[in-house]
Structure 1
């Protein structure tokens, strides 16, 4: 039987990681892998996470199963962080295996509710969105999003395409820090998107993977909260990998806002059913770290302070890179880097130019020219800027 299996296409980012490891050149720069790194090139364990783990180790008396939907304390704490004062009588929630697991369970839930659902995704989007949709066999269509000329949002095209979504379809939106482009909607543009969805009856499905990495913890949730207040049904997949730095703990949550309490109860039962069919009980350690932090005033304050330092550090790198490129190129065409938010920006380089960066300067980024700002430090920014100009980007 197993000999009938067919080779699967390798993940391009994982291939890039291995290629970077094998490169023996001094001064090589990894801007491909999508994890936060400090100036020393390390993905650190946050202070509050260390303290929470110590508290859990001291206080925990059992490793018994929790609940199919995850511990209520975690789900409630995450709901408050994402949505603030959410209407509890309309809200169902589910602990998941990372943000990716929340995305998968959301799509499974949508298929249960509407077997004919079509998913509308931005062009471009996080590649795993498309990979999961293709593997599940769910129909999807791409809406225009990124303007390759301005490196901003092509908003008129986006509106025109999203307006075509039918009632009961899902429209997948990045809540903040768009991956891979770094180009985000303004508050006014979010209002217009909400109005389009209100009119069509399409359901917003928000991927909130980077809350706290853009304009601040509360600011990054503003668009998601506005959508949740205006639309009768909303799906939200949130991740704790980045803002808590617990990538390997695989901690995420799926939130579902429903039209009424009866629909909430039905949705909660269906979500628990999906966990049971997929992996039974969700992992608890990462979730317990998060709930321990968010329910302790001192730990929460320290976590927010460190997260804000991370956010400001990335903004400083953006501003430094834009300034270096302005000076070296004699042009403001790279100023978009300072305006983008989150870990990523798409340069708008050709695959050949990306290859030239790798060959000539040992600078590694994804083939579509997505670069991870957090892979830089103050010393490597000038190196990258010179290489970008020399590559003719």
Structure 2
């Protein structure tokens, strides 16, 4: 049987991580892996997470399964965090999932259950795993223009032109904030135009929100998702706690289905719960319980929000420092878009050949499409990166 298996494509990020580890240069810089790191290159455990885990260790008296959909308190806490008061809680079906990736996978599975011929419109570019999972499930992908490599901003005119192809029953995959890999985001007026297009065509939005709190703040980052959920008849939302709570290895995520009528909401809940049962039965609980404890305790929540804000401002400061250093060295403001992007990532908009030169000549590692993780920088390495970018001719 095993001999009949096909060779799988190499994961580019995993390959890059291996190359970085094997590189003997002491001044090498890792801007590839999509994990937050502080100035010391460490992905820290947040203070509120440590405090909640200590309490949990002392007080938890069972490791029995939770429900198939996960702990209802986790769903309540996450619905409040992501949606605020945009829609009533009783219009939100929800299941806990193994991370944001699990939520994305369950959302795609739900689409197939509802419509085996579904088409999913995906931004060009997008997080590669979106494409990988869709291809694996055999779902038709339609790309829409998103990033303007010349300006480093969203190609909104191109995006809206491509969304003219939408038909009833199609799904449009959107990034709630901190677009991965580009860092370029729609404005709220642009989001309203997207909503109008969705509602005019009968297409359904799916929002992947993995970086809430990393861009302009918790509420500002959630504002587009709340707008879509409020004004579209149905919305799918895949949310991750990996980044904003730093619980990467706990695999903590949630999939929410918003419906403005009771009957479709109940059907969505029934089917989401069934999908959990078929794929992994009961979702992991440790990370979800820690997140719930933080969000429902005033002191823990305040400390978490303060640390998250420090993280956000630190990444924004690095963006501004890099854009400023490039302007100083080049005498041009053509890299100013780096300060306008939000979240961990920015797309330089250059060629794989020049990205390879950055690695070979300067020990700077980033994904071949020129996505770089801003959180991989610090005050010492910002000038080094700026000089290298200009040295290779980007």
Range class of TM-score, shorter chain: over 0.9
Partner Cα distance (1:104, 1:380) in 2? 37
Aligned 1:32-43 pairs, distance under 5 A: 32-43=32-43
Matched residue of 1:48: which SS? helix
Partner Cα distance (2:371, 2:226) in 1? 28
- Name the residue aligned to 1:9: 9
- Name the residue aligned to 2:64: 64
- Name the residue aligned to 2:157: 156
Q: TM-score, normalised by structure 2?
A: 0.99
Matched residue of 1:168: which SS? coil
- Name the residue aligned to 1:90: 91
Q: RMSD of the alignment, in Å? A: 0.6
Provide, for residues 220-240 of structure 1, a one-character-per-residue CA deviation record: whole Å limited to 9, x for no partner: 000000011100100000000
Q: Verify the 8 A CA contact 1:90 1:263 in the aligned structure 2.
A: no
Partner Cα distance (2:24, 2:34) in 1? 22
Deviation at 1:88, TM superposition (A): 2.4
Q: TM-score, normalised by structure 1?
A: 0.99
Provide, for residues 235-282 of structure 1, a one-character-per-residue CA deviation record: whole Å limited to 9, x for no partner: 000000000000000000001011411111111010000000000000
Partner Cα distance (1:157, 1:350) in 2? 21
Q: Verify the 8 A CA contact 1:98 1:250 in the aligned structure 2.
A: yes
Partner Cα distance (1:257, 1:249) in 2? 26
Partner Cα distance (2:260, 2:169) in 1? 13
User: Segments of 4+ in structure 1 off by > 6 A?
Assistant: none
Aligned 1:311-390 pairs, distance under 5 A: 311-390=312-391
Partner Cα distance (2:159, 2:145) in 1? 5
Aligned 1:68-217 pairs, distance under 5 A: 68-85=68-85, 86-217=87-218
Partner Cα distance (2:26, 2:48) in 1? 34
Matched residue of 2:289: which SS? helix
Partner Cα distance (1:197, 1:317) in 2? 36
Q: Verify the 8 A CA contact 2:76 2:89 in the aligned structure 1.
A: no
- Name the residue aligned to 1:258: 259
Partner Cα distance (2:278, 2:251) in 1? 18
Deviation at 1:162, TM superposition (A): 1.4
Q: Verify the 8 A CA contact 1:52 1:292 in the aligned structure 2.
A: yes
Partner Cα distance (1:41, 1:234) in 2? 37
Partner Cα distance (1:267, 1:129) in 2? 22
- Name the residue aligned to 2:300: 299
Deviation at 1:89, TM superposition (A): 2.8
Q: Verify the 8 A CA contact 1:235 1:255 in the aligned structure 2.
A: yes
Deviation at 1:6, TM superposition (A): 1.2
Partner Cα distance (1:182, 1:93) in 2? 28
Aligned residues: 393
Deviation at 1:308, TM superposition (A): 0.2
Deviation at 1:2, TM superposition (A): 1.2
Matched residue of 1:163: which SS? helix
Partner Cα distance (2:295, 2:89) in 1? 18
Unaligned runs of 5+ in 1: none
Partner Cα distance (1:80, 1:60) in 2? 24
- Name the residue aligned to 2:24: 24
1:288 partnered with 2:289: yes
Partner Cα distance (1:360, 1:301) in 2? 45
Partner Cα distance (2:164, 2:91) in 1? 26
Q: Verify the 8 A CA contact 1:89 1:260 in the aligned structure 2.
A: no
Provide, for residues 132-162 of structure 1, a one-character-per-residue CA deviation record: whole Å limited to 9, x for no partner: 0000001111000011111110001100111
Unaligned runs of 5+ in 2: none
